[in-house]
Chain A
């Protein structure tokens, strides 16, 4: 599913250059559930952002679903994000002006899905995360945990191959965190590939594999045998 070889990412040039990634190599097979941990500045978020095709690596190879990502044009990357990838962010990143139904519809709008079908699919996704009764609510009318559930529904709307989550529980209390992680666990049981960045060990323990980042490199890998 995901094949990365010798990936580097350098910010800035000359003396001011900072190496965020210094040669990362990893394979993530389909259906894997990977958590990435590490101190801030270790490059874990940059890595996730490159995996999610939101930015390009400075060097190295990246194959996603058999395609050479580095060779794709910006618009092809946009289509790839739209059709194959889903994102969940720490700060939810919902559009405050629109109701949550419209928020979940957004990826489908860019995919060109017709209005009726779009609505139907968005409703279904929101019902699955338990918000079927609140379609017309604005994000601000929802709690943090509920907003993150909307974000997950949005990430899943296009039935993506991989879901990327950057500190999905970073802004949530323990109870909401557990609810969100249970949703991720269920996605994993449905064989969805998940890559998640976190600095909370309890969150990471939901994953099948944990990668430890330090100074732009993977320093340790742990396989979580006892799947909760």
Chain B
């Protein structure tokens, strides 16, 4: 029996039980669709979060804060306003470094306006922070050393705030009230690239750290944010920071985080999620496979006489085995193809709704189709070998 004959026999047999074939196929289709959609959505989501994180800061960006893993929190003794200057002088790996004081959310409003104030984050910092933000100025300037020394009542606002309060005018030189303190806008940050996270993005105000600490009535610096001279220098930069800080503040414990670590963390979380949901889809596929096995066992017992006849006509063991295995694989492959279309459709729909790129790799699809064939062979083998090993006389006597 050659391959074309095998295909024709398989096809004729499936056609004879259309409804049954369709329903059996459905189980596999759902499993495959699930696997493809989950993997594609997972990969798309991960790519989005990755690019988001990358756009939030330079790849050379790092942060040093109190070691929260050891239960440390920042207080007024954790950092001093001279730390960043000293570290920059001592460590060749650190290119830029800025202390950041971050209070609770603050009210920002226009003078003489009845409009509800907007809640914003207030960052007290020094000029170096702009290097870590990965954003350039839309207009005006960022904070200067002079602003910091002078406790200048100035602020840099993000593009969101500028749009909200100064839609049709130049915000530079205009007054805003931050926690009822009048400040002058000296710069507007460029708009961050739009993405799914934009919706959650909090509006931000950047002020000289000296002035911000007055507004928030605190001496606490929460962390040091910096940029290393190169990506390779990142570990050196963070460990230098920690060493120097530990010397200057005995008893303090510090830890550094780099963009790489954060990316890794996100990658880990999404791949674990993908794995879990993928496993659920895999179970659906398994159930579909059991359905195929079930229907093939039914087919074998229904067609016992026919198997006997085919053997009488000269079908070898292998011919019968291939015929029934072929039917199981064909069911799974058909299911796989339908599932592939459904899965790709689902991934596109989710991507469209969530505004992220649909990431369907050729390999995912190939893997899913290959997997459906494996399912077919695995679950088809037992019924097929049962059919193949029937004795022709017994099979012919079967009613």
Residues of A within 8 A of B (CB): 49, 52, 54-55, 74-75, 78-79, 81-83, 87, 89, 93, 95, 97-98, 106-107, 109-112, 115, 154, 158
Of all chain A residues, the one with the shortest Cβ separation from B310 is A106
Q: Are A75 and B316 in contact (CB under 8 A)?
A: yes
Q: Are B315 and A110 in contact (CB under 8 A)?
A: yes
Q: Are A81 and B313 in contact (CB under 8 A)?
A: yes
Q: Are A107 and B396 in contact (CB under 8 A)?
A: no
Q: Given A93-B309, A98-B12, A109-B1, decide whether A78 and B317 contact each other with a Cβ distance below 8 A.
A: yes
A115 and B308 CA atoms in complex are apart in Å by 24
Q: Are B13 and A78 in contact (CB under 8 A)?
A: no
Q: Given A54-B392, A89-B396, decide whether A107 and B309 contact each other with a Cβ distance below 8 A.
A: no
Q: Given A55-B393, A82-B313, A106-B310, decide whether A112 and B12 contact each other with a Cβ distance below 8 A.
A: no
Q: Does B194 contact A (CB under 8 A)?
A: no
A111 and B393 CA atoms in complex are apart in Å by 20
A112 and B393 CA atoms in complex are apart in Å by 24
Q: Is the interface of B mostly helix, strand, loop or mixed?
A: helix
- In the bound complex, residues from chain A placing their C-beta under 8 Å from that of B313 are 81-82, 87, 106-107, 110, 154
Which 10 interchain pairs have the tightest Cβ spacing?
A82-B314, A55-B393, A54-B393, A110-B314, A54-B392, A78-B316, A107-B313, A97-B16, A93-B309, A49-B393
A2 and B334 CA atoms in complex are apart in Å by 49
Of all chain A residues, the one with the shortest Cβ separation from B318 is A75
Q: Given A54-B392, A93-B305, A97-B12, decide whether A110 and B316 contact each other with a Cβ distance below 8 A.
A: yes
A111 and B5 CA atoms in complex are apart in Å by 12
Q: Is the interface of A mostly helix, strand, loop or mixed?
A: helix
Q: A-facing mask of B277-312, CB < 8 A → 1, else 0? A: 000000000000000000000000000011011111
Besides the contacts A52-B312, A79-B316, A98-B12, what 9 more A-B pairs have beta carbons closer than 8 Å? A54-B393, A54-B396, A81-B311, A83-B314, A93-B396, A97-B12, A110-B314, A110-B315, A112-B1
A110 and B323 CA atoms in complex are apart in Å by 12
CB distance from B312 to the nearest CB of A (A): 5
Q: Are B310 and A97 in contact (CB under 8 A)?
A: no
Q: Are A109 and B317 in contact (CB under 8 A)?
A: no
- In the bound complex, residues from chain B placing their C-beta under 8 Å from that of A83 are 314
- In the bound complex, residues from chain B placing their C-beta under 8 Å from that of A95 are 306, 309
Q: How large is the interface on B (under 10, 10 to 19, 20 to 34, 35 or more residues)?
A: 20 to 34
Q: Does B80 contact A (CB under 8 A)?
A: no
Q: A-facing mask of B1-26, CB < 8 A → 1, else 0? A: 11011000000110110000000000
Q: Which residue of A54, A79, A158 has the most chain B CB atoms within 10 A of its CB atom? A: A54
Interchain Cβ contacts under 8 Å between A and B, 19 examples: A54-B392, A55-B393, A74-B317, A78-B311, A78-B315, A79-B314, A79-B316, A81-B312, A82-B313, A82-B314, A87-B313, A89-B396, A97-B13, A97-B16, A109-B1, A110-B315, A110-B316, A112-B2, A115-B4
- In the bound complex, residues from chain A placing their C-beta under 8 Å from that of B2 are 112
- In the bound complex, residues from chain A placing their C-beta under 8 Å from that of B13 are 97
Q: Are B316 and A87 in contact (CB under 8 A)?
A: no
A154 and B309 CA atoms in complex are apart in Å by 12
Q: Are B317 and A55 in contact (CB under 8 A)?
A: no
Of all chain B residues, the one with the shortest Cβ separation from A79 is B314
- In the bound complex, residues from chain B placing their C-beta under 8 Å from that of A109 are 1, 5
Q: Which residue of B1, B314, B316, B392 has the most chain A CB atoms within 10 A of its CB atom? A: B314
- In the bound complex, residues from chain B placing their C-beta under 8 Å from that of A87 are 312-313
A109 and B2 CA atoms in complex are apart in Å by 8
CB distance from B14 to the nearest CB of A (A): 10
- In the bound complex, residues from chain B placing their C-beta under 8 Å from that of A112 are 1-2
Q: Does B136 contact A (CB under 8 A)?
A: no
Q: Are B392 and A55 in contact (CB under 8 A)?
A: yes
Q: Are A54 and B312 in contact (CB under 8 A)?
A: yes
Of all chain B residues, the one with the shortest Cβ separation from A151 is B309
- In the bound complex, residues from chain A placing their C-beta under 8 Å from that of B12 are 97-98
Q: Does B54 contact A (CB under 8 A)?
A: no
A106 and B102 CA atoms in complex are apart in Å by 83
Q: Which residue of B309, B312, B396 has the most chain A CB atoms within 10 A of its CB atom? A: B312
A158 and B394 CA atoms in complex are apart in Å by 24
A154 and B393 CA atoms in complex are apart in Å by 19
Instruction: Specify which of B5, B16, B317 is in contact with A75 (CB 8 Å cutoff).
Output: B317
Q: Does B319 contact A (CB under 8 A)?
A: yes
CB distance from A123 to the nearest CB of B (A): 18
CB distance from A164 to the nearest CB of B (A): 9
CB distance from B253 to the nearest CB of A (A): 77
Of all chain A residues, the one with the shortest Cβ separation from B392 is A54
Q: A-facing mask of B310-337, CB < 8 A → 1, else 0? A: 1111111111000000000000000000
Of all chain B residues, the one with the shortest Cβ separation from A50 is B393
- In the bound complex, residues from chain A placing their C-beta under 8 Å from that of B318 are 75
CB distance from A200 to the nearest CB of B (A): 21
Q: Does B73 contact A (CB under 8 A)?
A: no
- In the bound complex, residues from chain A placing their C-beta under 8 Å from that of B391 are 54-55
A97 and B299 CA atoms in complex are apart in Å by 14
Of all chain A residues, the one with the shortest Cβ separation from B309 is A93
